[in-house]
Each structure stands twice: as structure tokens, then as C-alpha cells.
Amino acid sequence: MSSDTPLTVAVVGTGPSGFYAVEHLLKRSPGIQVDLFDRLPTPFGLVRGGVAPDHQKIKSVTRVYEKIAATPGVRFFGNVQVGRDLSRAELLGHYHAVIYAFGAQSDRALGIPGEELPGSHAATEFVGWYNGHPDYRDCRFDLGAERVAVIGMGNVAVDVVRVLARTAEELHGTDIAGHALDALRESRVRHIYMIGRRGPVQGAFTHPELKELGEMTDADIEVRPGDLALDPASAAALARGEDKGVERNIETLRAFAGRPPTGKRKVIHLRFQLSPLDLQGAGRVERMVLGHNRLVATPSGDVRAEATGATEVLPVDLVFRSVGYFGTGLPEVPFDQRRGIIPNEQGRVVTAPGVPATGEYVVGWIKRGPSGVIGTNKPDAVESADRLLEDAAAGHLLAPAAPGREGIGPLLARRGIRVVTWADWQRLDQMEQGRGKALGRPRLKFTSIPEMLTALDGA
């Protein structure tokens, strides 16, 4: 592109992967013009709506994103939903390239009887609710429950367990949504069961997250020593010493197993080699049937759970399934229903193997699936951005008709869309922090889109 026709790129979604793609494009191609679209008036994706509120330090990564958004040539179009307010075809008609960065917006189901009973929820809903995501603010969770099960051994399950185990005073010092703080203050939860279908060596949690579960102010941790007796395949995997994180996890679990209870108000029970088979109850969840598993080595060297046929019944009043996020598509954009991702080759969207869609790229969870921590998105986004730049150099991008990206603002205005600009977001951010300060909290989030727009424009 010449200097009088700078490269213009639209990014759909403003979580970490989108920002890392823009950061790389700006570094490699100064002068590039980028429009960031988000269906919410607020940016930052799962850093705002997913990262647990008691992990405030992790959220400071947004300072990096703020710098990117403040770069000349970068604009924010908040409150604009691609697929509703703007079509894919319109994006392709106004920019040289489009990067899809909208993450995985749904969750995996267990597919067991009783999963739809009241009292059974996706962990992703609970996470969105306690983080004040507008889609989930009206969810209701019966925190009058004393016994709660969280299915899954990943970091989302750990987050949910920790938020349930925290004291109201601890939560007050976080940016947890006001409605969630009020509800959790009244919580009667006493027993929190975190249930894994495989063994401790296969736990998907990272070590700092596991360790933190043993450091709760008002919750003891219980691990059954018998659960740490490793099957031959897991013992061999551990002995190979290839994964320091797993070694540390096992050490920590052994230390947990040796701890006597100290009489704290709540207990976190970690249970392994159990698969939920059935959620039962009269009109709501009252118990869960769990199948016992043995672990068997697979030919590929992995370890899988196999039912032994033995079962047990665990009385529980509330269940969160935390078995992974799952991607959903955008109208007209190629989508792999089975994997929940946009099919791509190194970040180039493809319509069939080896057939790239001109000018379309993908990054983050909607590219590779819902795995990895925030930092994982950096190399992932760099790969896609490099492919985009290679295509730009080869003249293989889209050719937007005049006025190009300058036509987008007027188009949205004609449709009556109240675009939330970066300056607007900065005002919302200040207001949220101010509301929080008045309560001795870091932030009090706005949790509905109308509430945010009213705060900006008045009633």
C-alpha cells in the first residue's frame, strides 16, 4: 500500500488476541489504520468478562491494550455487533483486511440426563454474571445451596471454586459486579466439590491456581490420599519429568492430602476419576450420580478415563459444569461446527483446505479453540498478522471502494447505532472507578448496555 492509500484493517472483537494482532501490525507496518469493533460498549473481552475478580493484577495487562488503542490511526467502535449492525460483506467492502478475534462465546455441555434441571448451570454463565457481563447479569444462582459441585479440573473451574470460597470482605476489595457481591454476601455455600474425570496428573489447572486453593481465608482443602495413588501410565508420565508444572501440582496435592482440617467455615473437596452420569431431583438438582473411572493408556501415549461400572451418589444443590468454552460463528463467515472455530491455515481463513478467503484472518480462541492463558494469544496473533502482511506485500488483499473505512461511521449513523468511541469508553472507565472509590472498591462496573449509554448520554 502506498502512503496515500494506507492499509486499513477491521478487527472484530477487542480481547487480548485482537489487541496483540494490532500491536504487531502497528510495529511492522507503521501508518496502518485499524478499526476495532466490539458488540459491547466496553473493550478487553475476557480480561474484563472472564478473568476472576480476585485476580486484579492480571487485569493490569489492559494498560498495554490502552496504549495500542490510543495509537493514531486506531479507532474503537464499541456497541457495534458485526452480523447485526454491520455485515461481513460490508466489512469486506470497506477494508483491505478483516481479522476475526471474537473468541469462544458459548460452552460445552456434558450431555447427561438432568443437565437442564434448575440448579445446573454452565460455569461460563456464572463467570459472566460475577464479572458483570451484560449478557449474564439477569442470571440467578441459588447460593442458598450448601453443597455445590464444579465439574472439570481446568482454571475456569478453579476460578469458580475460589469465588465461591472467598469471604465477602475479600470480594469487596475486587471489581466483582455489585449484584454478585450482594448475592455472594448471603451465600450459604459450605461444601464445594471440584470433580475431575481423570487423575491428578491430568489436572488442567496451572500450579499457581491450584496452590491458591490451599490458601483460602475461610475454606479448608480436602484431598483424599487414595486419589493420589497413580495408575502406571500417570506414574510413568510423572517419572519422565517432562512437565514441571505437573510435578509441582502433584507435590502440592500431596501436601493438601496431608493437611488436617482446621475448622474453616467452608471446605473445598478435590475429587478425581469421577464422571457425572446423571443429575437428579424433584424439580431441581438434589443429587448427582457419579461413575468411577479407571485410567488407561492410549496408543498415542495419552491417558483416558474408562468407567469401572461402580457409582456413587453425591448430594448437591447447585452444579456448575466447567468443561470448556465453545466457539460460535458469525453469519456468512466460514465455520467448523465440530471444532467451534473458523477454519484457517496459520490464521488465514480458508473456505476449503488450501483455499484462503481473500482478506480474512482469525486470531485467538476462535482460531485455535479455547485453550491457553492470556499470553498464549501473543504468538498466535503474531502468526496471523504476519500472514496478513505477507498477503499485503503480495497484493493479495481486498480492494475497498472509496471512501473505504471512512464510510463506516456514516453507515452506522444512518442505521441509528450509538457508537461508543474510545473517548466514551475512557469516560465509562473513569465513572466505574469513581463509583467504586465511593464504596472503597477498585471499580463498580456498569452491567447493562442501556445503563452504560445512559451514563454517557443522560436518560
Beta carbons within 10 angstroms of residue 108's beta carbon = 17
Stretch that binds ligand NAP, among 24-32, 154-162, 229-237, 433-441 (CB under 6 A): 154-162
- Cell output for 47: 480480561
Count interface residues toward ligand NAP (CB under 6 A).
25
Q: What is the DSSP annotation of 377-393?
A: HHHHHHHHHHHHHHHHH
Question: Rule CB under 6 A: is residue 397 a binding residue for ligand NAP?
Answer: no
- Cell output for 412: 452506522
Closest distance to ligand NAP from the beta carbon of 184 (Å): 19
Out of 119, 132, 152, 356, the residue judged to bind ligand NAP by CB under 6 A:
152
Nearer of residues 80 and 110 to ligand NAP, judged by Cβ: 110
Question: Rule CB under 6 A: is residue 317 a binding residue for ligand NAP?
Answer: no
Whether the CA torsion 245, 250, 255, 260 is positive or negative: it is positive
Out of 23, 175, 209, 391, the residue judged to bind ligand NAP by CB under 6 A:
209
DSSP state of 259: P
Question: Rule CB under 6 A: is residue 54 a binding residue for ligand NAP?
Answer: no
Strands 219-223 and 266-271: parallel
* Site pattern 336..375 for ligand NAP (x: CB under 6 A): ----------------------------------xxxx--
Nearer of residues 79 and 275 to ligand NAP, judged by Cβ: 275
Closest distance to ligand NAP from the beta carbon of 205 (Å): 7
Nearer of residues 46 and 98 to ligand NAP, judged by Cβ: 46
Out of 151, 333, 341, 362, the residue judged to bind ligand NAP by CB under 6 A:
151
Question: Rule CB under 6 A: is residue 271 a binding residue for ligand NAP?
Answer: no
First to last CA, the chain: 45
Out of 24, 59, 147, 197, the residue judged to bind ligand NAP by CB under 6 A:
197
Strands 325-326 and 106-107: antiparallel
Question: Rule CB under 6 A: is residue 198 a binding residue for ligand NAP?
Answer: yes
Out of 68, 92, 145, 153, the residue judged to bind ligand NAP by CB under 6 A:
153
Name the nearest CA neighbour of 64 among 99, 18, 128, 133: 18
Out of 13, 18, 114, 154, the residue judged to bind ligand NAP by CB under 6 A:
154
With H, G, I as helix, E, B as strand and everything else as coil, classify residue 150: strand
Stretch that binds ligand NAP, among 200-208, 230-238, 282-290, 412-420 (CB under 6 A): 200-208
Helices (H), 80-206: 88-94, 123-130, 155-165, 168-172, 178-185
The residues, any chain, with a CB within 8 Å of residue 116's CB and separated by 6 or more, are none
With H, G, I as helix, E, B as strand and everything else as coil, classify residue 350: strand
Peptide bond into 403 cis (omega under 30): yes
Q: To which H or E segment does residue 326 belong? A: strand 325-326
Query: Which residues would be at the binding site for ligand NAP (CB under 6 A)?
Result: 110, 151-157, 159, 196-198, 202, 204, 206, 209, 275, 322-325, 370-373
